Structure 1
Amino acid sequence: MCDFEKAENFVEKNQLDLTLVVLEFVLTIWTYYVYVWLICCKTLQDRVEVAILLSVYHLLFVLNLWCYLRALLTPRIPVPPEFQIDQNTWNQLELDSSLQQQTKIHLGIKTTTYSQRTLNYCHVCKNLKPDRCHHCSRCKACVLRMDHHCPWLNRCVGFHNQKFFFLLIHYTFVYSVFLVITCTGALPRIYRNDWVGDLLDVENQDWKLRNSSAVQLIEILKSTSIPEMSEANLTTNISSSKTVADSAPSSSSLLTAVAGSARELVSAVAGAEFSAVFVQTVVLVVVYSVVLFSLFPLLALHNELLSGNITTLEINRPLSLHGGKASSKIFDLGSRTANHKEIMGPQIWLWPFPVFTSQGDGVHFPVRGEIVKGRTL
């Protein structure tokens, strides 16, 4: 089956509403518009600062979007054909424990579930379940090394896309931290631009107050300027002092102008409406703060799971080797690095990139009891 047919199958079988996925794309586009265009291009003036912020933002944006699309669109790997049997064959197999044991050895199945059956059969998909395989009722399919069903991806996280999901939550966390810090730092400058530009004529670079009381105050202060004194006009100034005093404005008119100017200034500042840029930036900070605090426990959980080579389902439903005690550490290879390599791949330099490097085929896994000096028996 080609990749296109697999993707088409996924869309046909998926019954969950795509609202959350659409919401995520809308949020991504809106975030890009607010941060890149409104904040960096329209508000910030320092070109060096803008260049640095845009470079870091686009790096995180590309990595985040890349991981999201890989986690969302990577086709699910189907259960191999050798595991597929019809219902009648299973009915016969279920009654014969020795035949079950032979089939288990032939297919390489090493574990049993909490039900303590030798084999597990999916009555929907009509196949035996390999180790760590589970049927998802929402996706209506058996998923190899299933971890959980993610509503934000509208699909299951399993062997085919677990690395991409793991990178996605990490990059989304860093992306959210970056947005919250830089947008919070830009808010004071956005606020100043909202009302200072309305009070001051920046365009003419004269910084003339536009309100009428302020203009009146300036004119009054100009009229009270003391003329330049010199020996030539000293006598004239003294003789005409009475005229100057009579023509000078009264203290009451001066106080009235000052009070009016201050009143209009305070009224303008207090009643200034927040611009769309300011409001959207505040909303951006709030939204990504919520994302940040929601992601933190999820990030801690999946780091711990990957370090122990455990899936989310195996926490509550631990597997057991045949005849042994159920344990969530069956697939723990003994070191964090070895466990990480199972999903992230053997080449550490490829870990940060959403390319498929997971080891194995999603059907057969080394178990802890088989590890001898770093090799599997």
Structure 2
Amino acid sequence: MAPSHALRCCKRALNWIPVLFINLVVGWSYYAYVVELCVCEYTDFMGRVDLSYLVVFHVFFTMFVWAYWKTICSTPASPSKAFGLPRAEKELYEREEQAERQQEILKKVARNLPVYTRTAGGAIRYCDICQVVKPDRCHHCSTCEMCVLKMDHHCPWVNNCVGFSNYKFFVLFLAYASLYCVVICATVIQYFIKFWTKQLPDTHAKFHILFLFFVAAMFFISILSLLSYHLWLVGKNRTTIEAFRAPVFANGPDKSGFSLGFGRNVAEVFGDEAKYWMFPVVSNLGDGHSFVTRLVHIDREQANCVLQQNGKRLVFLFFFIDLICFHSS
């Protein structure tokens, strides 16, 4: 028992190494830009510090660090108790040895839940580890040892699961990291060229400035490709998992099963109010447990049950969405 606990603690400590690496690189970049470039180098040759460089740099640095740590510190959202099996059904499920009978128990419970996705074999998605019926788009993370709502992926660079609770923060982190690198490259390149062509004398700042440009350019290229991919996913209302393995509905798999149109897809992640889009604050829509889907994928029996629970407002919403899907197909 003790060795297992010790190994788990060691694993958790090692998981913070990528985060430590990123913070060391960012900390060094701050020192190289502010101290070596703006204070020392620029002052030596221009006689004063260019405040415009420092203001622009600190704006993007602040937004980048803010979004990064919001992504790290946001606790992954997990299914509520409503998705757990009631005591009677749980005892029946654990005693039952036949998979068919277990599925009957799960189907009975799932009829009262907004769950429309299935396994590849058409069964109710159930986590035997967390002992919950998985909400749509929810997956179990072996690293976090929990089911995560609208799980996108587990990111080692933030040592956290990226999902419903922090996906917006993650996208903003990538965006501001890219802009941070752009600001560095755009303002450092003139000094990079002068040092490279020997137009400036060798100083202690030369190494920092040359290396800063290379590092910023390298990170920009790698982050930009990842940012572009996730912006594409936002526009399609897909997660990384769904992009590689389409969610399965009652009528089969469909990668676009949760797509509601570009504008609504963006609002699902960033919210209805554009004034909050650029800030790493909570503004996404929904609760992470239920998502609007195209009605063609919903089991009739379950749809009727959900309509009875939510009343006329949901009936109108489903009718409107179904009408849009009919005209677009």
TM-score of the pair, normalised by structure 1 = 0.70
Q: Conserved in 2, the CA contact under 8 Å of 1:14 and 1:138?
A: no
SS at match of 2:154: strand
Deviation at 1:296, TM superposition (A): 2.1
**Closer, same or farther: CA 47–341 of 1 in aligned 2, 3 Å:** farther
**Closer, same or farther: CA 94–154 of 1 in aligned 2, 3 Å:** farther
SS at match of 1:124: coil
Match of 2:278 in 1: 352
% identical equivalent positions: 29
Q: Conserved in 1, the CA contact under 8 Å of 2:93 and 2:102?
A: no
Deviation at 1:375, TM superposition (A): 9.4
**Which residue among 267, 290, 296 is the counterpart of 2:224?**
296
Residue 337 in structure 1 maps to residue 226 in structure 2: no
Deviation at 1:101, TM superposition (A): 2.7
Match of 1:227 in 2: none
Match of 2:5 in 1: none
Match of 1:165 in 2: 170
After TM superposition, the structure 1 = structure 2 runs for residues 1-377 of structure 1, keeping only pairs within 5 Å, are 14=12, 17-45=15-43, 46=46, 50-85=50-85, 88-91=91-94, 92=96, 95=101, 97-117=103-123, 119-188=124-193, 195=201, 274-322=202-250, 324-333=251-260, 335-369=261-295, 371-373=318-320
Match of 1:241 in 2: none
Look up the equivalent residue of 1:305 and give its one-letter code.
L
Q: CA RMSD in A?
A: 2.6
TM-score of the pair, normalised by structure 2 = 0.79
* Distance of 1:172 and 1:31 partners within structure 2: 12
**Closer, same or farther: CA 80–40 of 1 in aligned 2, 3 Å:** same
Q: Conserved in 2, the CA contact under 8 Å of 1:94 and 1:100?
A: no
Q: Conserved in 2, the CA contact under 8 Å of 1:113 and 1:318?
A: no
Deviation at 1:373, TM superposition (A): 3.7
SS at match of 2:254: coil
Deviation at 1:351, TM superposition (A): 0.4
For these two proteins, the number of residue pairs brought into alignment is 285
Q: Conserved in 2, the CA contact under 8 Å of 1:14 and 1:139?
A: no
Question: Could you list the runs of 5+ residues in structure 1 that have no partner in the other structure?
Answer: 1-10, 196-273
* Distance of 1:158 and 1:320 partners within structure 2: 19
SS at match of 2:122: coil
**Closer, same or farther: CA 49–276 of 1 in aligned 2, 3 Å:** closer
- Deviation string, structure 1 residues 285-332 (Cα, Å, up to 9, x no partner): 11111111111221111011000100000112211222x120110000
Look up the equivalent residue of 2:259 and give its one-letter code.
D
Q: Conserved in 1, the CA contact under 8 Å of 2:77 and 2:165?
A: yes
Question: Could you list the runs of 5+ residues in structure 2 that have no partner in the other structure?
Answer: 1-8, 296-316, 324-329
Q: Conserved in 2, the CA contact under 8 Å of 1:43 and 1:190?
A: no
- Deviation string, structure 1 residues 10-32 (Cα, Å, up to 9, x no partner): x9995752111001111111111
**Closer, same or farther: CA 142–96 of 1 in aligned 2, 3 Å:** closer
